[in-house]
């Protein structure tokens, strides 16, 4: 599908209009960012890796009955998606303690969380993406009251589907964030699912295979992403052509 005018440029993706008012092109750029955009760097191959990673995961979720906006690949670093009215809410599911949960509550990193923890955050970099609750969401109109339970249910369904998928690849799905939007009144999973928005640990060594490698200056960021893709049998580079 042909992309037309640029509609929005985020930290790692650019959104373009198309000839179809109900369809957009997402371009996954090589840009990496952390700490609400205060740390930035360009990483070769990142755009293509995340694009193909996301396509594979969204197709897998759709096959499992999770409604989402992905439609098709549109080149190495581009995808065609449904045009959603995005909700400014992030849904986070945590299977193991890591990151801000440990800092907020003094929980030891790596602790298994049973049952998994679900949290809402406001998508606002200037405010540091603060944690919010259902009352905030309804009072401030960030989503409709009858959209809250579906967001939670779909987030848990994603967890059921993907924890097994990653476990089969000897990877622990530690935590992840999801975003949702409306498409002609229907609530759909939007944005992306890639190592940029989740934590993935090698099940044997505990080694980080996600964007924490960038956050913590561990190096080998794209190599780790490609290793996850290899284990999930996601074709990359020449293999994908």
pLDDT at 241: 54
pLDDT at 237: 73
pLDDT at 212: 96
pLDDT at 240: 61
pLDDT at 118: 98
Q: Which helix (H) or strand (E) holds 49?
A: helix 46-63
Give the phi and the psi of residue 195 in degrees, each rounded to 5: -65, -10
Location of each CATH 3.30.470.20 domain in the chain: 86-220
CATH number of this structure's domain 86-220: 3.30.470.20
CB 207 within 8 A of CB 110: no
| Sites in the chain below the pLDDT cut of 70 | 238-241
pLDDT at 239: 63
Quick: pLDDT tens for 115-147: 999 999 999 999 999 999 999 999 999 999 999
d(C-alpha 120, C-alpha 93), whole Å = 9
* Domain 3-83+231-240 class in CATH: alpha beta
Residue partners of 100: CB distance under 8 A and separation at least 6: none
pLDDT at 38: 84
Location of each CATH 3.30.200.20 domain in the chain: 3-83+231-240
pTM of the predicted model as reported, rounded to 2 decimal places:
0.94
């Amino acid at each position: 599908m042909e992309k037309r005018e640029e509609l929005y440029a985020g930290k790692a993706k650019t959104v373009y209009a198309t000839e179809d008012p109900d369809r957009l092109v997402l371009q996954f750029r090589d840009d990496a960012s952390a700490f609400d955009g205060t740390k930035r760097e360009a990483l070769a191959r990142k755009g293509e890796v995340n694009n193909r990673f996301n396509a594979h995961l969204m197709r897998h979720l759709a096959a499992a009955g999770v409604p989402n906006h992905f439609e098709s690949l549109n080149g190495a670093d581009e995808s065609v998606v449904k045009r959603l009215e995005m909700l400014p809410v992030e849904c986070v599911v945590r299977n193991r303690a890591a990151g801000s949960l440990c800092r907020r509550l003094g929980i030891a990193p790596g602790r298994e969380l049973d049952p998994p923890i679900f949290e809402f955050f406001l998508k606002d970099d200037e405010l540091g993406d603060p944690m919010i609750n259902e009352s905030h969401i309804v009072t401030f109109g960030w989503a409709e009251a009858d959209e809250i339970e579906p967001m939670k249910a779909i987030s848990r369904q994603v967890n059921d589907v993907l924890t097994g998928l990653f476990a089969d690849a000897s990877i622990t799905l530690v935590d992840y964030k999801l975003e949702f939007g409306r498409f002609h009144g229907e609530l759909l999973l939007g944005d992306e699912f890639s190592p940029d928005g989740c934590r993935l640990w090698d099940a044997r060594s505990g080694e980080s295979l996600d964007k924490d490698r960038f956050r913590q200056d561990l190096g080998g960021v794209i190599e780790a992403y490609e290793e996850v893709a290899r284990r999930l049998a996601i074709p990359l580079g020449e293999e994908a052509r």
